[in-house]
Structure 1
Amino acid sequence: MPELSVLAWLLLAIAALLVGLSKTALPGSNTISVAIFAALLPAKESTGALLVLLIVGDAFAVWSYRRHASWPVLRRLVPTVLAGLVLGALFLAVASDAEVRRVIGVILLAVIALTLARRHLTRHRQEQPETKARQHLQSGIYGTLGGFTTMVANAAGPVMSMYFLASRFSVKTFLGTAAWFYCVVNLVKVPFSVSLGLITGQTLLINAVLLPAVVAGALAGRALVAKMNQSLFDRLVVLLTIGGAIYLLI
């Protein structure tokens, strides 16, 4: 078990609580968890420890919203996300921590700008059904970026939040689609993470201590969603995504 102060453990517990909350109510808020873990643990340990907690949160999210996923969207994402995961693993092997953070930050800001511009252009006119070519192009861009960012920094949340937001999902469809997406992607990342030395016996001990906080956050998120309307949900997603991008840049 790493030697950490009481304050450090308290901050890690808050980060774990936010992991659970992000999975069942506030997508993107786990960027704060990424920041806390990276500040308190060595880079490799922080990534591996957080991945296991994210998988626990995924299990609660799937249990809560398993009937609300958009399966056509998920099927379109599979090949591009896998490509992004491979690119991310290759990038991790050659890039420094600073380079990783800056690249992801720039990607997130570009995705936010693209998504908000698209929504603004369609707000005051009748939106036409998307063609299959456009759907595949959009899923290709977001899927590749999502796979890349999740592999290098557990930071796919903001990218995929913008994709699901652009798809104009309802709150529960958004959360259900995200739940299945992250559940599968994070499980696929486990062998990569083990082979890269990101998941170790020490990170699993940290997970054992922080697991109750993830569960508490997930249950609190389920209660919060029942009181949240669509407009508030969309705004929170955008704000949390912008915050995550700025954090990665600075």
Structure 2
Amino acid sequence: MPTDFIFYAAAVPAVILVGLSKGGLGGAFALMGVPILALVISPVQAAAILLPIMIVMDIFSLWIWRHYNDATTLKVMLPGAMIGIGIGWLTASLVSTELIRLLVGLIAIWFVGLYVYERYKARRGKEPPPRPQQPVKGTFWATISGFTSFVTHAGGPPFQIYTLPLRLDPKVYVGTSTRYFAIVNAVKLIPYFALGQFDASNLSASFVLMPLAPLATLAGAWIVKRLRPEVFYPLMYLTILATSVKLVADGMNALLH
């Protein structure tokens, strides 16, 4: 188990940021977890250490948001997510995680650009209505989400591309997102074990950091429950933009070097 000060100096803020995201503050914080830990250990080891902690965070998030859920969205998206996880498992030794991060980041930036354009039209009296459920589109984006979640822990942007235009109540949105990623992360445990991602050292580090999980998750939920919809949704799109820029930067940096 890593015991040096440098490891924990990186691991503690990484876990706190992921926990704030799990509480409902969006995907940008979650994506910082692996890169921060990767400053002191390999990215693969960082992902393996964080996954059990994320499972604990999911348990607390499920309890916090237990009264809020949109079952239709989950029915539309979960089958595609399972397909995406399966594709990620089968192609784990073939895919370039750097290229995947770059592509996901570019797509998400395009999505934020559409949102800004719609906000511009809304100010001119042409605000579009909430988008209805579209099973084919939902399955497509969920498949991408499951795949990118498996290979890079970056399933948030594709999930948000489909769900944010539905304009669910903020609490319902967070509750639905919590259930979705709790299931995705739980299913990911099986292939991660099969691929040998969990050894004694990684699991020991996970258990040492585990007490931070509920505290950070509860803090994120406390903040989200006090946000009005007109604040919540712009904040979510801002987190997507921050996430996208980080993904593109990571992907470009890795590919160029």
Do they superpose with TM above 0.5?
Answer: yes
CA–CA separation in structure 2 for the residues paired with 1:101 and 1:77: 21
Secondary structure of the 2:226 match is coil
Alignment-mate amino acid for residue 240 of structure 1 = T
Unmatched runs of 5 consecutive residues or more in structure 2:
250-257
Alignment-mate amino acid for residue 98 of structure 1 = E
TM-score (norm 2): 0.86
CA–CA separation in structure 1 for the residues paired with 2:11 and 2:229: 30
Percent identity, please.
28
Alignment-mate amino acid for residue 86 of structure 1 = G
Secondary structure of the 1:40 match is coil
CA–CA separation in structure 1 for the residues paired with 2:187 and 2:96: 23
Partner of 2:135: 136
Shift of 1:115: 5.3
Secondary structure of the 2:246 match is helix
Does residue 229 (structure 1) correspond to residue 228 (structure 2)? The answer is yes
Shift of 1:120: 5.9
Shift of 1:130: 5.3
Shift of 1:128: 5.6
Q: Are the counterparts in 2 of residues 19 and 53 from structure 1 also a CA contact under 8 Å?
A: no
Alignment-mate amino acid for residue 55 of structure 2 = I
CA–CA separation in structure 2 for the residues paired with 1:222 and 1:35: 23
CA–CA separation in structure 2 for the residues paired with 1:119 and 1:141: 25
Going from structure 1 to structure 2, the CA distance change for 1:121 and 1:34 (only over 3 Å counts) comes to farther
Alignment-mate amino acid for residue 59 of structure 1 = I
Partner of 2:252: none
Instruction: Between 162-171 and 179-188, report the one with greater CA deviation.
Output: 162-171
Q: What are the within-5 Å matches in structure 2 for residues 185-224 of structure 1? A: 185-224=184-223
Unmatched runs of 5 consecutive residues or more in structure 1:
none
CA–CA separation in structure 1 for the residues paired with 2:105 and 2:40: 21
CA–CA separation in structure 2 for the residues paired with 1:197 and 1:100: 22
Q: Deviations over 1:4-45 (max 9, x none)?
A: 4x2431221111111211111301121111221233221221
Instruction: Between 211-220 and 107-116, report the one with greater CA deviation.
Output: 107-116
CA–CA separation in structure 2 for the residues paired with 1:120 and 1:146: 28
Does residue 98 (structure 1) correspond to residue 98 (structure 2)? The answer is yes
Partner of 2:153: 154
Partner of 2:255: none
Q: Are the counterparts in 2 of residues 27 and 161 from structure 1 also a CA contact under 8 Å?
A: no
Secondary structure of the 2:93 match is helix
Secondary structure of the 2:26 match is coil
Q: Deviations over 1:50-88 (max 9, x none)?
A: 111111111111101112110011001122111211222
Going from structure 1 to structure 2, the CA distance change for 1:100 and 1:37 (only over 3 Å counts) comes to farther
> What is the total number of aligned residue pairs between the two structures?
247
Alignment-mate amino acid for residue 80 of structure 2 = T
Q: Are the counterparts in 2 of residues 23 and 175 from structure 1 also a CA contact under 8 Å?
A: no
Q: Are the counterparts in 2 of residues 142 and 163 from structure 1 also a CA contact under 8 Å?
A: yes
Shift of 1:122: 6.9
Partner of 1:33: 33
Shift of 1:171: 1.5
Q: Deviations over 1:121-172 (max 9, x none)?
A: 677447567566xx11321222111111101111112222333211101221
CA–CA separation in structure 1 for the residues paired with 2:3 and 2:235: 36
Partner of 2:16: 17
Going from structure 1 to structure 2, the CA distance change for 1:81 and 1:226 (only over 3 Å counts) comes to closer
Alignment-mate amino acid for residue 7 of structure 2 = A
Q: Are the counterparts in 1 of residues 97 and 152 from structure 2 also a CA contact under 8 Å?
A: no
Q: Are the counterparts in 2 of residues 158 and 241 from structure 1 also a CA contact under 8 Å?
A: yes
Partner of 1:8: 7
